[in-house]
Amino acid sequence: MPEIRKVRFLEPGNRPYRPALRNHFTYDRYLRNPSLGLTLLATIVKRRVPDTLFYSESIAKIRWDDVLDADIVFIGMFTFAAPRGYELARYVKEHSDATVVLGGLHASLNYEEAARQGDYVLLGEADDSIVDFLEAYEHDRPIDFSGVARQTPDGTVIKTAERAAPTEIDTIPDHSLVYRFADMVGHNTLWPQVIASRGCPFRCDYCAVVRHWGQKMRGRDPQNIVEDIRQTIAFFDQGRLPRLNRAMWIVDDNIFALRPWSKQVLQAIIDSDIDYRFTAQARFEVGFDDEILELLKKAGFFELALGIEFLENESFDAYNKTCTSEEVIKSIRNIQAHGINVRGLFILGADTHTPGVGERLARFVIDNGLRGMLVQSMYFVPGTPVWKTHQDRLIHTDWSKYTGHVVHHPTLMTPSELNRELVHVSRRVYSYRRLLQSLIFDRGLNRLLFLGEFFWQRSVAADREREGRKLAGLPAAGPKPRHLPLITLDPPTDPG
């Protein structure tokens, strides 16, 4: 009967961590928050295997002498990190006897691809299946429970039955299991994070989250969430210097979809007397709920990031997003009237978009007083409806570039034109003039956030300009999409 001595978790980074001064003011260059999901799974595994540790390339280099001595190596990844994740999987298999298990959003939605890189793939949420895996491994039983995929000796990939989503989701992640995380909490670009619920009742065509978490909303116990918040704050407060950024991101995709539960969570935070500030993602509907907005303000929420995506009603209709531009504007104004900032999350590159959409978006952000924005090119996570309908219009399938860069031929613009629109809106909203205005007129956290986002957005715009050179001469798809050949990008580097 095999004994599990040691388990290691790996999170690949498309830009692996390296020390740099800019890490203190530019997020997502060589530094980003480690995966909460992998931290949670490591916490679950440690209950059975005391020697459990999680390496995230987002914050530290992997100690290979330690990892290659493990019995089981779990690797979780998003689409943009899949090439790096597969490199890590191959490296472990070539240099050790460890069993390699892949998982995460990309591996779950593309299990046939992932199963060829490791020994097994855990599909979907793995809170329960990872325990089943450990038990099967320890007792030398076949790995044939529901929610797993693997490649057979003849090269065929097989998948077991679908697995029900876990209902017990109150485990509090142990951040101390993340290698060197405690040493990095002084970086104000790293935000304390808590996830309070899973799932989303909507099915927007471009969204991978609902394909992974499902449409059934599941909320944690409100008091359990409060305790998670307390422990996370305590972890981030252990740095040598006081943090300037005393704000936490509640990372749920749509925390307000379960309204009665949301009220309980907000009231629990209010009753806890936790002195912290919070931000969360939301749909526009929350802007019409005065009771929720009042509770948000009392609980310390200073900002909501609205998944607005588009400006035009025809774009909302085209991608199965149930709202109108008029509703979005009314929602923004009512949220602001309650003293809560609004940040906009946007997509450029819809089939309805034309040259000039970047300037129109910049004017929308500025004229409506949004505190900031995140804008990406239309993204195509393999496994989503837009992926299936746009495969003949992709420029390439180098997943490492699926980070908001232009990866498809739009209908009414060339890829190069779309890229210029993305660069323009970033530099327009985060201009030197607006930076000066923020430094003069903003106070406290608002000033700090705009300063950090200024450097980040300028860094992203510079990246897009470099990537844009590869797009020169590529055509628009036109109103009748046709098959367009993929371009070839440089091969990835070796992880060793």
Q: pLDDT tens for residues 401-419?
A: 888 899 999 999 999 999 9
| Residues 351 and 319: beta-carbon distance below 8 Å | no
For residues 415 and 274, state if they share a domain.
Answer: yes
| Residues 71 and 119: beta-carbon distance below 8 Å | no
With bands split at pLDDT 50, 70 and 90, how would you rate the model's confidence at 1? low
Residue 182 resides in a domain: no
Euclidean distance between CA atoms 277 and 444, whole angstroms: 12
| Residues 51 and 179: beta-carbon distance below 8 Å | no
Give mean pLDDT, residues 304-331.
Answer: 89
For residues 343 and 444, state if they share a domain.
Answer: yes
Euclidean distance between CA atoms 286 and 47, whole angstroms: 39
144: CB partners within 8 A, 6+ apart: 160
pLDDT for 36 beyond 90: yes
pLDDT of 479 reads 62
pLDDT of 488 reads 45
Domain carrying residue 329? 190-471
132: CB partners within 8 A, 6+ apart: 145
For residues 205 and 87, state if they share a domain.
Answer: no
How close are the terminal C-alpha atoms of the chain, in Å? 32
User: Which DSSP category does 301 fall into?
Assistant: E
- Give 125: exposed, middle or buried? Use CB within 10 Å, 0-12, 13-18, 19+: buried
Pairing label, strands 99-103, 277-282:
unpaired
User: Which DSSP category does 35 fall into?
Assistant: P
State pLDDT tens for residues 64-121.
Answer: 999 999 999 999 999 999 999 999 999 999 999 999 999 999 999 999 999 999 999 9
With bands split at pLDDT 50, 70 and 90, how would you rate the model's confidence at 380? confident
For residues 150 and 194, state if they share a domain.
Answer: no
pLDDT for 152 beyond 90: yes
Give mean pLDDT, residues 267-277.
Answer: 96
**Domain-ending residue, one of 154, 179, 209:** 154
Euclidean distance between CA atoms 65 and 95, whole angstroms: 10
Using DSSP, state whether 185 is helix, strand or coil.
coil
CA distances from 368 to 333, 345, 371, 372, 375 (A): 8, 14, 9, 11, 16
The per-type count for the chain, helices as H runs and strands as E runs, is: 18, 15
For residues 112 and 234, state if they share a domain.
Answer: no
Encoded tokens for 12: 């690949």
Encoded tokens for 398: 């180098």
Residue 482 resides in a domain: no
pLDDT of 492 reads 45
For residues 263 and 407, state if they share a domain.
Answer: yes
For residues 124 and 210, state if they share a domain.
Answer: no
Give mean pLDDT, residues 351-375.
Answer: 96
User: Which DSSP category does 23 fall into?
Assistant: G
| Cβ neighbour number for residue 3 with a 10 Å cutoff | 9
- Sequential DSSP letters for 201-265: S---TT-SHHHHH-SS-EE--HHHHHHHHHHHHHHHTTSSS--S--EEEE--S-TTSSHHHHHHH
For residues 212 and 126, state if they share a domain.
Answer: no
Pairing label, strands 341-348, 301-309:
parallel
Residue 162 resides in a domain: no
Residue 494 resides in a domain: no
Average pLDDT, the chain: 91
For residues 201 and 144, state if they share a domain.
Answer: no
Residue 246 resides in a domain: yes
pLDDT of 369 reads 97
Longest dimension (CA), the chain: 67
Q: Report which of 177, 176, 210 is spatially closest to residue 54, judged by C-alpha positions.
A: 177
Pairing label, strands 197-198, 218-219:
antiparallel
Total structural domains in the chain?
Answer: 2
What percent of the chain lies above the pLDDT cut of 90? 70
With bands split at pLDDT 50, 70 and 90, how would you rate the model's confidence at 496? low
With bands split at pLDDT 50, 70 and 90, how would you rate the model's confidence at 319? confident
Q: Report which of 247, 315, 311, 250 is spatially closest to residue 284, judged by C-alpha positions.
A: 311
pLDDT of 413 reads 94
Report angle CA 120, 123, 129 to the nearest 5 degrees: 80
Give mean pLDDT, residues 275-288.
Answer: 94
pLDDT of 219 reads 94
For residues 51 and 133, state if they share a domain.
Answer: yes
Encoded tokens for 182: 């405690």
CATH of the domain at 128: 3.40.50.280
For residues 252 and 304, state if they share a domain.
Answer: yes
Q: What is the 3-state secondary structure of 146-160? A: CCEEEECCCCCEEEC
Encoded tokens for 303: 């900002």
For residues 146 and 208, state if they share a domain.
Answer: no
CA distances from 97 to 68, 90, 119, 136 (A): 8, 12, 11, 18
Using DSSP, state whether 327 is helix, strand or coil.
helix
Only one residue has tokens 């987002």, namely 58
| Residues 371 and 332: beta-carbon distance below 8 Å | no
pLDDT of 341 reads 97
Residue 104 resides in a domain: yes
CATH of the domain at 415: 3.80.30.20
Residue 306 resides in a domain: yes
